[in-house]
Amino acid sequence: MKIVVASGKGGTGKTMVAVNLAWALSQSQEIHLIDCDAEEPNVHLFYPGGKDEGPVTVKVPEVDSEKCTLCGACGEFCRYGAISVLTESVMFQAHLCHSCGGCMLSCPVDAITEVPRRIGMITRSEPSPTLTVISGILDEGEIAAPAVIKAAKEAGEWDGVSVLDGPPGTACPVIETMEGADVCILVTESTPSGLADLRRAAHLAEALGIPSGVVINRSDKEDGPTLAFCEEEGLPVLLTIPFDREIAAIQNRGAILCSEKEEWKEAFAQLYEDTIAITGDIS
């Protein structure tokens, strides 16, 4: 069972929901918590000390200058401008490369081979016997977040329940995270811009065929438009977390709400039950 926690934009408290959900579940079963926000991983702030599980690499071309005739074919093929044939050398700009392998195929003299290039890493920690935390971390300056997310998902793959903290937004990294998920929890705030972001995220989940429900965070009790939208779209509201000084203070300390407040532990356990219910899975 893969549960993705997502939101149309950053800063809605998505990681807080993912971390608390995983913590609450880990009180009664084994859980994998996978941080898929590779560009700005935050889960490790709650669970520091992850062990390096090795690099994530992508394949990039390497030109053998002995064999290369500077014919220009590779550069003409590459639509990303990552490889350019210049007067005396072939220039490769790694940050533009999409690892499509096309330049290698286009070279008439087989001067190009593929070599691995590191773009990020995977870390793993076991903060409790029932909780495994896996983070996919994209290196500074790199852009291929989906490759790191895929590797993090593979590292956390198992038969039990996984909670995936997704990247914000609705672009490729989110799609990679949602791929293969059973259900999606969309975290939102009750503001007009929050609603616009929720709408985009909800439509993405729908397009990918993933059932979803909504968590309203930092609610000011004026959730009318959000509730109306959920009603209209048939999205169940799974949990409403009020805007509250005490909750904010716990968060600011980097602590886990559920571990300090019995009522929230129960609320998040219930969130899980209600989330599972959306998938139609009774187990």
Partner 1 sequence: MKVCITSKGDSPESVPENRFGRTPFFVVYDDETGNVIEAINNSSANDASGVGPKVVQMLVSKGVNVVITGQVGGNANKGLEVAGIPTYAFGEAKTVADAYAAYKAGTLTRIV
CB of 107 to ligand SF4, least distance (A): 3
Block residue for tokens 């639509």: 79
3-state secondary structure of 141: coil
* C-beta closer to partner 1: residue 18 or 83: 83
Stretch that binds partner 1, among 8-16, 26-34, 86-94, 174-182 (CB under 8 A): 86-94
Cα 38 → chain centroid: 6
Positions in the binding site for ligand SF4 (CB under 6 A): 61, 63, 68-74, 77-78, 80, 82-83, 85, 90, 97-103, 106-107, 109, 111-112
Instruction: Tell me: does residue 79 bind partner 1 (CB under 8 A).
Output: yes
Among 64, 76, 157, 281, binds partner 1 (CB under 8 A): 76
- Contact region for partner 1 (CB under 8 A) — 74-82, 102-110, 140-148, 175-183? 74-82
The nearer residue to partner 1, 69 or 89, going by C-beta atoms, is 89
65's contact among partner 1, ligand SF4, none, with CB below 5 to 8 A by partner kind, is none
The terminus-to-terminus CA distance of the chain in angstroms comes to: 10
8 Å CB contact between 167 and 177: yes
CB-based contact 224:240 (threshold 8 Å): no
- Identify the CA nearest to 44 among candidates 168, 178, 135: 135
The SS3 assignment for 173 reads: helix
Nearer Cβ to ligand SF4 (116/180): 116
Taking the C-alpha atoms of residue 22 and residue 271, their distance in angstroms, rounded to an integer, is 11
Tokens 């994530």 label which residue? Answer: 56
Residue 77: contacted member of ligand SF4, partner 1, none (CB under 5 to 8 Å, by partner type): ligand SF4
**Contact in structure between 264 and 257 (CB atoms under 8 Å):** yes
**Interface with partner 1 (CB under 8 A):** 72, 75-76, 78-87, 89, 91, 93, 96
